[in-house]
Amino acid sequence: LNTKTSPATNQAPGPEEKGKAGSAKKTEEEEEEIDIDLTAPETEKAALAIQGKFRRFQKRKKDPSS
């Protein structure tokens, strides 16, 4: 048993430490560049399909009897 360690080292990180880890991860994500051609017909088809499914989901959520 190591008696020299303080009890604080065994606890979960506080909000300050969690914030530091989160911001380091965020900068890594910001560096990743996603290149999507927004004028491509495939992109438009995919967007319309996603929007349609979302609208149906919202309609079902609002009126569960249908």
What pLDDT digit, counting tens, does each position of 5-61 carry? 555 555 555 555 555 555 556 666 567 888 889 999 999 999 999 999 999 999 998
pLDDT at position 48: 97
In the block, tokens 């309609």 appear at 59
Torsion on CA atoms 14, 19, 25, 30, rounded to nearest 10 = 170
